[in-house]
């Protein structure tokens, strides 16, 4: 039946999502990325920028790629697709 096929497909999708999340979570490597982040708004800026003009904030932090950020980015991409 169609309902059984849909249920099987949903289970497969769920398993795949869990696999990718576990893979990203287990990879705890951290990398420095190009750019800086405004701690007020979360916006990424080029490394040459010294101030977030949206929030008049001079406290910009180095941007890092971490396991948690990769998981967040992964699910953000899924939401958009």
Distance from C-alpha of 52 to C-alpha of 58, rounded to nearest angstrom? 6
Number of neighbours of residue 32 by Cβ within 10 angstroms:
9
Strands (E), 1-81: 31-38, 44-45, 60-65
The predicted pLDDT at position 10 comes to: 97
Q: Say how far apart CA 28 and CA 71 lie, in whole Å.
A: 11
- Tokens 């932090």 sit on residue: 61
Burial zone of 38 (CB within 10 Å; 0-12 exposed, 13-18 middle, 19+ buried)? buried
- Asked if pLDDT for residue 28 goes beyond 90, the answer is no
- pLDDT digits over 4-25, tens only? 999 999 999 999 999 999 999 8
Say if pTM beats, i.e. exceeds, 0.85. Answer: no
pLDDT at 38 over 90: yes
């Amino acid at each position: 039946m169609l309902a059984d096929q849909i249920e099987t497909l949903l289970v497969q999708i769920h398993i795949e999502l869990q696999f990718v999340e576990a893979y990203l979570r287990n990879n705890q490597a951290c990398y420095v990325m190009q750019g800086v982040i405004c701690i007020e708004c979360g916006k990424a800026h080029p490394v040459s920028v010294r101030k977030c003009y949206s929030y008049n904030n001079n406290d910009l932090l180095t941007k890092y790629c971490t396991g948690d950020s990769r998981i967040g980015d992964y699910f953000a991409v899924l939401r958009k697709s």
